[in-house]
Amino acid sequence: MKKELFLAGSLALFANAINSCGGSSRGLSGDIPVFNTVAVSITSANPQTLEVDMVAHVLITTATDVNFGFPNCNQVTTTTGVCIGYDIPSEVVNFTFSSNTIKNAAGQPATPNPSPVLIRKVSYSFSNCVSGTYEFPVGVVVNPDTQAQAPVQLFTQDMKRNLLTWVPYEYTNLVDGCKTVFQIPSYRGICTAVASLNFEVVELSSGIVRNIPYQIVVRLSDYNSPNDQCRPF
Give residue 21's pLDDT. 38
- What would the DSSP string read from start to end of 126-139? ESSSS-SEEEEEEE
DSSP assigned state of 161: H
**Residue 170: beta bridge partners?**
181
Q: Which residues of 138-168 are buried (b: 16+ CB within 10 A; e: fewer)?
A: bebebebeeebebebebbeeebbeebbeeee
Euclidean distance between CA atoms 13 and 35, whole angstroms:
18
Does 233 reside within a domain?
A: no
Does 73 reside within a domain?
A: no
The number of domains in the chain is: 1
Cα–Cα–Cα angle for 122, 134, 214, rounded to 5 degrees: 45
What rounded mean pLDDT belongs to the chain? 83
Give residue 32's pLDDT. 72
Does 74 reside within a domain?
A: no
Does 9 reside within a domain?
A: no
Domain that holds residue 149: 22-54+89-163+188-221
- C-alpha 147, offset from chain centre: 19
User: What CATH number has the domain bearing residue 142?
Assistant: 2.60.40.10
Does the structure show a pLDDT above 80 at 53? yes
Does 208 reside within a domain?
A: yes
116, 143 in Cβ contact below 8 A?
yes
* pLDDT band with cut points at 50, 70 and 90 for residue 49: very high
% of residues, the chain, pLDDT over 70:
79
Does 59 reside within a domain?
A: no
Instruction: Kindly report the pTM of this predicted structure.
Output: 0.78
* pLDDT band with cut points at 50, 70 and 90 for residue 178: confident
Does 95 reside within a domain?
A: yes
- The H-assigned helical ranges of the chain are 2-19, 157-161
Does 155 reside within a domain?
A: yes
Does the structure show a pLDDT above 70 at 67? no
